[in-house]
Amino acid sequence: MRIGNKQIGEKTYVIAEFGVNHNGSLERAKEGIIKAAEAGADAIKFQTYTADELVVKGTPKFWDWEGDKQHETQYDAYAAIGGFPYEFYPELIKCCEENNIEFLSTPFSMKAADILNDMGMKAFKVASSDMMTLPYLSHIAKYGKPIILSTGASTLEEVKEAVRTIEEAGNDQIIILHCNLCYPTKNEDANLNIMRTLKDTFPFKTIGISDHTLGSQSSVIAVAMGAQVVEKHYTTDKTLPESADHWLSVDPTELKEIVDGARLVETLRGSKEKKVFSSESETRVYDKRSIVTARDIKEGEVMTEDMLTYKRPGTGIEPKKMHKMLGRIAKTDIKDDTILTWNNFQKK
């Protein structure tokens, strides 16, 4: 599976979830793109919605942020920061292309999804809130593009149903992200082992994480545990007002920590094949042991175990062949502390 010019699975795919942290400003959106690219992220993701498409008026908020006292309901909060003009999107896409980072945006309606698809977006993110909006999943599945599925606040059976819905619509390009839908997520609620459950349940799917914990550590640990895709909320300035997302997001420095940490984990993970690596070749010779004489041995003596010991280096007869040594006859005198070879003995 590819997203743009990146093969998913070759390296950890890092998505900087910018959402609406542009606060409605095109220039801030471009700044977010440039800084995410500089940090090494593979993609930057926005969100495409209007309050009218998203939520019924009067719906209570599910977050408690000190800076958001002016908004009494979800509708009020989303109306204040939603509705980023579609006219801005070509400029965002161009900015992403210029900075070699993939443009993505989560649509929260079929209309938004259709517009983004027509713009040539390479993959579609499904937020946890829409994981069980099955008609919507069927609709976007028919684009034939990769679908990144967040699974927060859902059961395993619901994840199975969502995956089945996408596949029945003819699309098997599914990336499943473990997610806890608390903003922020406490460390004790992160439950990274669920990624293993998802991999066991969907062995042929790409598994990753949409990480809502504070800071960068959890994302890097998730990579060490097998996450192939990492999505992390990101902002250029944690002190900005308007959105409750700024303060709990990572900044460009922390985003770079995630990318660098993921690359380090990939390097450390290395090969699954247990073998002697080229870097160990010399060490192996001088670190392993050989069979060595424990005393002077006269020509004609028959080898017994008390005459022999094991010492470094490993340039002689291996200790595991001791049983083949016993009973052999010394061809010549052999001094104490000599590394033995088969040439020291008469042929049997």
Residue 41 CB-density burial (10 A; 0-12 exposed, 13-18 middle, 19+ buried): buried
Question: Per-residue pLDDT averaged across 175-193, rounded?
Answer: 97
Return d(Cα 88, Cα 47) in angstroms, integer: 13
Determine what percent of the chain is predicted with pLDDT higher than 90: 89
Q: What is the pLDDT of residues 224-249, one digit of tens each?
A: 999 999 999 999 999 988 777 899 99
Return d(Cα 243, Cα 22) in angstroms, integer: 9
Q: What is the mean pLDDT of the chain?
A: 95
Indicate the pLDDT class of residue 76, thresholds 50, 70 and 90: confident
Query: 7-269 has which fold?
Result: TIM Barrel (3.20.20)
Question: Is this structure's pTM higher than 0.75?
Answer: yes
**pLDDT score at 121:** 98
Class of domain 278-344: alpha beta
**pLDDT score at 339:** 98
Question: Per-residue pLDDT averaged across 28-36, rounded?
Answer: 98
Q: Is the pLDDT of residue 347 over 90?
A: no
Return d(Cα 249, Cα 211) in angstroms, integer: 10
List the chain domain ranges. 7-269, 278-344
* Dihedral-angle region of residue 85 (phi above 0 means left; psi in -120 to 50 means alpha; beta otherwise): beta
Q: What is the pLDDT of residues 50-75, one digit of tens each?
A: 888 889 999 987 766 666 667 778 88
Return d(Cα 83, Cα 57) in angstroms, integer: 16
* 157: nearest Cα among 204, 205, 201, 192: 201
**Inter-residue contact 219 to 232 (CB < 8 Å):** yes
**pLDDT score at 196:** 98
**pLDDT score at 103:** 98
Q: What is the pLDDT of residues 82-98, one digit of tens each?
A: 778 999 999 999 999 99
**pLDDT score at 68:** 63
Residue 228 to residues 4, 83, 175, Cα–Cα distance (Å):
16, 32, 9
What token pair was written down for 244?
Answer: 């409750």
Q: Is the pLDDT of residue 184 over 90?
A: yes
Q: What is the pLDDT of residues 275-317, one digit of tens each?
A: 999 999 999 999 999 999 999 999 999 999 999 999 999 999 9
What are the φ and ψ backbone dihedral angles of 6, each rounded to 5 degrees?
-110, 130
Place of tokens 């870097």: 279
Q: What is the pLDDT of residues 107-118, one digit of tens each?
A: 999 999 999 999
Longest dimension (CA), the chain: 101
**pLDDT score at 80:** 79
Place of tokens 């070759």: 10
**pLDDT score at 67:** 60
Q: Count of H helices and E strands in the chain?
A: 12, 12
